[in-house]
A and B are shown apart, each in its own frame.
Chain A
Amino acid sequence: MATVVFMLPLVGMVLMLILARSDQQYRWWTLTTSIVTFAVSLLLVRGFDKTSAGLQMVDQFDWISGEGFSIQYYVGIDGISIWLVMLTTFIMPLAILSSFKAIQKRVKLYYMFMLLMEWAMLGVFVAQDLFLFYVFWEVTLVPMYFLIGIWGAEQRIYAAVKFFLYTMAGSLLMLLAILWLGNEAGTFAVPEILEQLKTGDLVFSTATGRWLFLAFGIAFAIKVPMWPLHSWLPDAHVQAPTAGSVILAGVLLKMGTYGFVRFNLPLFPAASETFAPYIAALAVIGIIYGAWVSYGQKDMKKLVAYSSISHLGFVMLGIFALNSSGIEGAVLQMVNHGISTGGLFLVVGVLYERRHTKLMAAFGGIWQAMPLYSGVALVIVLSSMGLPGLNGFVGEFTILLGAAGSDAISWWFTPLAALGVILAAVYMLYMFNTVFMGELDKEENKRLPDLDWRELYALVPILIMVLVIGLQAGYFFEFMDAKVGDLVRDISLAVAAGR
């Protein structure tokens, strides 16, 4: 079942390459494929057993195996990955829809990469075999490299290369760790390795555990990105086309935080406990630093990019609170950030398509010229600021709650992180005020057309999810509760047993 969902974009891509002939057909093929993928992924939610902590809808075959090792095709979803799969299938149609007008050169190639991107990201979230995971992890780099490098802004090559090299550098350490782990365990399948760890068939020393944690951790930390490894992010975001930024912020960054939850916590619980305060400290620095730097920006995209560093700091803090409130809040916040920040990039893209600038100083009083657009933008800005009743708040609140009650990290992380909530209002309202409020005093802004239907269709689903998660987060938590409850218990058992 999981296979069906994540292979759909690839099938759609192949069919598009064979059947579609014109630019218009490429666009609609791609959009249809992504919508069908989303529709089918809804079946995952419907068929999901909330009471089970284990993997569901598993497909598992031997792929490459030999003497003393086995690499499997092993995919499945559980309470954590289901929402990231859903986030991916939800964001992609919107990103595709937002490219219809913006992308006019090499259209076929562009949409090919979009579907490839979706396929690879879904692969990352469903893979349960370390080797398989690594393959998809690397494959996601390629389409994104081209999306930035071909369809980006002036300095696109520089940004694309930096993105590629930065992430690649981190991944190599992870590859080493994966190979070591697979060699020791004789299998790359994560559930099997976990089983061996539990039964004591696989034991490694405290020091080894820490090294492995760091090898995985650095790869993920670059992807998140955690402060101070964030330097590639503003470049990538500012240079990427709108859809690229949406995917980057919406889904790609979550691969890092997801990696921490999926691999670091269960595989190296003792090391997680050891490193938790340090990671939490970096996370809190990231929250404040990102928010502070955001306020100093003049370019809207850069502001949103730095705000991601702040928001993902919250996610990291929640994960390393190492309790269920923190982790579940973090997983939900991954989804929330994808929706809100994806939405913010769409919002910025709308203005960019009209004025070809992202500088805040070029605007002012847009609300008067584009009332519908401004209303939509306001809701997304508020969701990003964590207004209660909208999605961002639920995530932030549960993360802070987890951090405040955590045994793993000190109490003073919580008030420092909560400062980020004030600072978020400072930079977000700074942007909203300078762009949307105030007088409409620039001649070239006076006749900007309001949202057209296509843009509205890309933004309305975001508004809906902002409200649905904001008012009914309980529904989303129910899916993860069994899984995260188990995870937290396993961590504390493992820590107690000194593993």
Chain B
Amino acid sequence: MENYFDLVPLVVLIPLVGMLTNLFFGKRFGEQGVAIVAVGASAAAFLIAVILWIAQVNTGYVPAVIDMPVLGDWINITSAGLRIPWEFRVDSLSVTMMLVVSGVGTLIHIYAVGYMHGDSRFPRFFVYMNMFLVFMLLLVTGNNFLMMFVGWEGVGLCSYLLIGFWFDKPGGVGWKNSDAARKAFIVNRVGDFGLILGVLLTFWTFRTLDYYKPGEMPAAAHHEEAAYEETLFAPDLPEDEHHETATGPIGVFNQASAWLEEGDHEVNFGVISLSLEATITLITLLFLLGATGKSAQIPLFVWLPDAMAGPTPVSAFIHAATMVTAGVYMMVRSNVLYHSSDLSSFVVAMIGATTAIVAGFIAVGQWDIKRVLAYSTVSQLGFMVAAVGVGAYAAAMFHLVTHACFKALLFLASGSVIHGMEHGHHHLHEHGHGDHGHDDDDFDPQDMRFMGGLKDKMPVTYWTYIFGTLALAGVFPFAGFWSKDEILLDSIKHGVNDGYLSGYLAFVLLLIAAVFTAFYMWRQVSMVFYGQPRHAAAEHASESSNLMTRPLIVLAILSLLIGLINIPSGFPILGWLLGKHEFTSFLGHSVTFAHAGSFNFLLATMAVILALGAIYAARALYNDKTLATLERDPLELDERTAEAFALANAKLYWDEFYFKYIIWPYRNVAYWLAEKLDWEIWHDFAHERLIRDPFNRATQFLAEPVDKGFIDRNFDRLGTLVRRVSDRMRVIQTGYVRTYALSVLFGALLVVILILLPVLRELLGL
């Protein structure tokens, strides 16, 4: 079975071939051909991920490191001890990510074939989608931080291209889309700044960037973990064997474990030295900055809502299911480092939990169907990040997997809604009764105020949407219930059992965020599907094509069932039927500090009751009566909540803050530097006024009063003599600088000849 691991490069190379094929021949293929290539590439990648998964299971979860074919080392500076190979890593964590990315990716590719039908740049869309797969799979399969970084920025590039995909839409929309794309890239670059500094620090601390060297096993967790009710999941190797493998070259994580165990390790950077613990804290905080960029956390989450300018399949795939989870993946991958730093873990937990609640709050005040989901994504990513912060690495990954399914589902279903609305709108135009309903110019197919009553018009979309919503809200037995519950439980345990303040804080914040989640989701469901149509377009909306609805159905089933991969041990019947913590123990083979929580009935019941309560409250508030007009939100009309709603609707003025204090000052200083300091002052004033002009004046002075006025007069007689001579010389004194420079050239050529002479002499043996 080990031989199958050699297939892992294909997981990247097949989408690459798909991308290049469509790039060069896409125009000739037509829509169908392009779709077959792109979907085929994605499906093939998924197939290989499945094979790798089976191989992992059958080989006892031994991690494998596989070289990239053809390419040699990426970077290799022997004298600096720097070697960055192109190496892939197959272990349970990377396989999990591969399955999610290529699995959800394939469904979304299929959906996109229907969604993008008729777009003038259909082939290019799928070029970008396959390119995204290349980079995302590279990100999760690389065996060192720098390869991860290639994927990391690569997916950022795809995100940029896809957010700006409709850069040419008329009426200013195109410019807005382009700006959103640029914003995403630049905000992510701020995060990457942290990540790359963290990578530099990692190298100088551990003298390598490889996670593990080939043949090296992840170290087992220490026994302090046994405090949990569940036992930990050590790799299937006995303890002493692990020590044996550690004698060869050693990767970052095992080196960290070994040194931490030794204690009192100092790290020297050039002229300063730090304790290992302080260094790791610094590294992990810098990595966290990277994660806040890519995974849209406070303070860098502002790009994600704007990223909804991209086509909806992109929002589902890149900005909900996969790319934005890269930060979580990266932190889970570095769990050995995060685990050892209490300070970093605390900051991570607080950032995640705060983001979860802030984004959940903003989501309540949004009108745009995709923006609600975008903020919801930010909020859910906050759950995952918080889980990392409380040491629940397995729970974070579990939530990543379930979230990928139900959030992709919600986005795709919202795309189906938008599609239906647009069709209804087209229908209106074709049949010429655009005169009733709202004014046509204001129509926005994504604004929920124009929707309503779509339940009967789009039944498949409606039911799948309900599945997604219940999963997201964490209602039993949907997927989100299992994963969210595990995060909540781990948080409170982190507080109670281990005595960390961050555990309590995260628990409270996340619980409130979970209530927000259920509320804004049901607010959305009510506005979109219940009541009566509030616009003629909604009235004429119709169900989307099979290409679009079938992936929805698959994802809906997944949203219901995917939670079963990790049934907690305390859960009656199901746990006994399906095995306990299957997913956690699978992850445990590569994530050293993956541990399983148990199950707490009280907590689970409380969470479900809170979610159902929030759903009930939402439906009560957004009942058929208030939904009938919905010019303004019921929360807006109520005095007690009006202010909060306005705040949520304005996104807490977060963007405005950045504009006022960072972007405008930066831009104004740039203009000032460019036009005033560098040009008027330095270029013109200093160079022209201070250097050139005085020099010119001096020469003028020498030429006119000194030369002409004094010397010339006295030497006038001599001058006449000279003039006769100089009359003949004047020919070469043209006064053109280029003539003078030409004479420099001839001088130079003379020198050349002088150079050549000895060469010739030598060659001719003279």
Q: A415-B197, A481-B78 are in contact. Are A407 and B759 (CB under 8 A)?
A: no
Contacts of B443 in A (CB 8 A): none
Partner of A401, one of B82, B168, B745: B82
- What are the interface flags for B168-193 relative to A under an 8 Å C-beta threshold, 1 for contact and 0 otherwise? 11101011001101100110011011
Contact A481 B673 (CB under 8 A): no
A187 in the interface, Cβ–Cβ < 8 Å?
no
A462 in the interface, Cβ–Cβ < 8 Å?
no
Contacts of B672 in A (CB 8 A): 296
- What are the interface flags for B139-176 relative to A under an 8 Å C-beta threshold, 1 for contact and 0 otherwise? 00000001001101110010010001001111010110
Contact B270 A407 (CB under 8 A): yes
B682 in the interface, Cβ–Cβ < 8 Å?
yes
Query: Chain A residue with minimal CB distance to B172?
Result: A439
- Chain B, range 738-766, C-beta contacts under 8 Å to A: 738, 741, 744-745, 748, 751-752, 754-755, 758-759, 761-762
A406 in the interface, Cβ–Cβ < 8 Å?
yes
- What are the interface flags for A188-212 relative to B under an 8 Å C-beta threshold, 1 for contact and 0 otherwise? 0000000000000000000000000
Contacts of B200 in A (CB 8 A): 400-401, 404, 414
Among B169, B683, B748, find the residue whose CB has the most chain A CB atoms closer than 10 A. Answer: B748
Query: Chain A residue with minimal CB distance to B746?
Result: A142
A19 in the interface, Cβ–Cβ < 8 Å?
no
Q: A73-B755, A231-B687, A388-B150 are in contact. Are A418 and B197 (CB under 8 A)?
A: yes
CA A328 – CA B761 in complex, angstroms? 38
CA A445 – CA B700 in complex, angstroms? 49
A368 in the interface, Cβ–Cβ < 8 Å?
yes
Contact A421 B76 (CB under 8 A): no
- What are the interface flags for A149-171 relative to B under an 8 Å C-beta threshold, 1 for contact and 0 otherwise? 11000000100111010000000
- Chain A, range 388-433, C-beta contacts under 8 Å to B: 388-389, 394, 397-398, 400-402, 404-411, 414-415, 418-419, 421-422, 425-426, 429-430, 433
- Chain B, range 199-215, C-beta contacts under 8 Å to A: 200-201, 203-204
Contact A157 B737 (CB under 8 A): yes
Q: A421-B193, A421-B196, A429-B185 are in contact. Are A292 and B204 (CB under 8 A)?
A: no
Stretch at the interface among A20-28, A217-225, A471-479: A471-479
Stretch at the interface among A35-43, A131-139, A337-345, A353-361: A131-139
Contact A411 B269 (CB under 8 A): yes
The smallest C-beta distance from A158 to any residue of chain B, in angstroms, reads: 10
Contact B157 A382 (CB under 8 A): yes
Partner of B673, one of A296, A388, A484: A296
Contact B79 A433 (CB under 8 A): no
Contacts of B154 in A (CB 8 A): 387-389
Query: Chain A residue with minimal CB distance to B675?
Result: A296
Partner of B196, one of A142, A387, A400: A400
Contacts of A86 in B (CB 8 A): none
CA A467 – CA B331 in complex, angstroms? 29
CA A306 – CA B154 in complex, angstroms? 26
B77 in the interface, Cβ–Cβ < 8 Å?
yes
A145 in the interface, Cβ–Cβ < 8 Å?
yes
Contact A439 B174 (CB under 8 A): yes
Partner of A410, one of B146, B149, B271, B667: B271
Q: A132-B755, A411-B272, A473-B74 are in contact. Are A440 and B185 (CB under 8 A)?
A: no
Contacts of B146 in A (CB 8 A): 388, 397
The smallest C-beta distance from A359 to any residue of chain B, in angstroms, reads: 14
Query: Chain A residue with minimal CB distance to B671?
Result: A296
- Chain A, range 447-499, C-beta contacts under 8 Å to B: 471-475, 477-478, 481, 484-485, 488
Q: A234-B683, A411-B271, A419-B193 are in contact. Are A477 and B167 (CB under 8 A)?
A: no
- Chain A, range 219-241, C-beta contacts under 8 Å to B: 228, 231, 234-235
The smallest C-beta distance from B151 to any residue of chain A, in angstroms, reads: 9
Contact A421 B189 (CB under 8 A): yes
B711 in the interface, Cβ–Cβ < 8 Å?
no
Query: Chain B residue with minimal CB distance to A408?
Result: B270
Q: A61-B762, A473-B74, A481-B77 are in contact. Are A405 and B270 (CB under 8 A)?
A: yes
Interface residues on A, range: 35 or more
Contacts of B174 in A (CB 8 A): 365, 437-439
The smallest C-beta distance from B445 to any residue of chain A, in angstroms, reads: 20
Q: How many residue pairs bridge A and B at CB < 8 Å?
A: 216
Among B76, B170, B186, find the residue whose CB has the most chain A CB atoms closer than 10 A. Answer: B76
Partner of B76, one of A61, A73, A389, A474: A474
CA A484 – CA B687 in complex, angstroms? 38
B72 in the interface, Cβ–Cβ < 8 Å?
yes
Contact A292 B673 (CB under 8 A): yes
The A interface is mostly helix, strand or loop, or mixed, namely helix
A125 in the interface, Cβ–Cβ < 8 Å?
no
- What are the interface flags for A281-302 relative to B under an 8 Å C-beta threshold, 1 for contact and 0 otherwise? 0000000010011011100000
Contacts of B153 in A (CB 8 A): 387-389
Q: A387-B157, A437-B181 are in contact. Are A484 and B186 (CB under 8 A)?
A: no
Contact B755 A478 (CB under 8 A): no
The smallest C-beta distance from B289 to any residue of chain A, in angstroms, reads: 11
Contacts of B744 in A (CB 8 A): 141-142
Query: Chain B residue with minimal CB distance to A328?
Result: B77
Among B73, B181, B752, find the residue whose CB has the most chain A CB atoms closer than 10 A. Answer: B752
Contact B741 A61 (CB under 8 A): no
CA A408 – CA B269 in complex, angstroms? 11
B669 in the interface, Cβ–Cβ < 8 Å?
yes
Contact B182 A429 (CB under 8 A): yes
The smallest C-beta distance from B306 to any residue of chain A, in angstroms, reads: 14
- Chain A, range 48-66, C-beta contacts under 8 Å to B: 59, 61-64
CA A164 – CA B669 in complex, angstroms? 31
Contact B745 A142 (CB under 8 A): yes
Q: A397-B196, A404-B201, A422-B189 are in contact. Are A477 and B75 (CB under 8 A)?
A: yes
CA A404 – CA B271 in complex, angstroms? 10
- What are the interface flags for A1-25 relative to B under an 8 Å C-beta threshold, 1 for contact and 0 otherwise? 0010000001000000000000000
Contacts of B149 in A (CB 8 A): 388
Q: A146-B738, A325-B77, A404-B200 are in contact. Are A63 and B754 (CB under 8 A)?
A: yes
Query: Chain B residue with minimal CB distance to A378?
Result: B161
CA A297 – CA B84 in complex, angstroms? 38
A264 in the interface, Cβ–Cβ < 8 Å?
no
Contact B193 A474 (CB under 8 A): no
B574 in the interface, Cβ–Cβ < 8 Å?
no
A245 in the interface, Cβ–Cβ < 8 Å?
no
Contacts of A418 in B (CB 8 A): 193, 196-197
The smallest C-beta distance from B651 to any residue of chain A, in angstroms, reads: 23
Among B73, B204, B270, find the residue whose CB has the most chain A CB atoms closer than 10 A. Answer: B270
Contacts of A485 in B (CB 8 A): 78-79
Among B75, B185, B744, find the residue whose CB has the most chain A CB atoms closer than 10 A. Answer: B75
A residues at B contact (CB < 8 Å): 3, 10, 59, 61-64, 73, 132, 135, 138-139, 141-142, 145-146, 149-150, 157, 160-162, 164, 228, 231, 234-235, 289, 292-293, 295-297, 306, 323-325, 328, 365, 367-368, 382, 387-389, 394, 397-398, 400-402, 404-411, 414-415, 418-419, 421-422, 425-426, 429-430, 433, 437-440, 471-475, 477-478, 481, 484-485, 488
Q: Which 10 A-B pairs have the closest CB atoms?
A: A296-B674, A485-B79, A474-B76, A296-B670, A474-B73, A325-B80, A437-B178, A324-B79, A437-B167, A295-B670
Can you list 21 A-B contacts (CB < 8 A)?
Answer: A73-B759, A149-B737, A150-B738, A160-B737, A292-B669, A293-B673, A295-B674, A325-B80, A365-B168, A397-B196, A400-B200, A404-B200, A425-B185, A425-B186, A433-B179, A437-B174, A438-B168, A471-B86, A472-B74, A474-B84, A481-B79
List 6 additional contacts besides A411-B272, A429-B182; criterion CB under 8 Å: A63-B758, A296-B670, A388-B149, A419-B193, A422-B192, A474-B75
B residues at A contact (CB < 8 Å): 71-80, 82-84, 86, 146, 149-150, 152-154, 157, 160, 164, 167-170, 172, 174-175, 178-179, 181-182, 185-186, 189-190, 192-193, 196-197, 200-201, 203-204, 269-272, 666-667, 669-675, 678, 682-683, 686-687, 737-738, 741, 744-745, 748, 751-752, 754-755, 758-759, 761-762
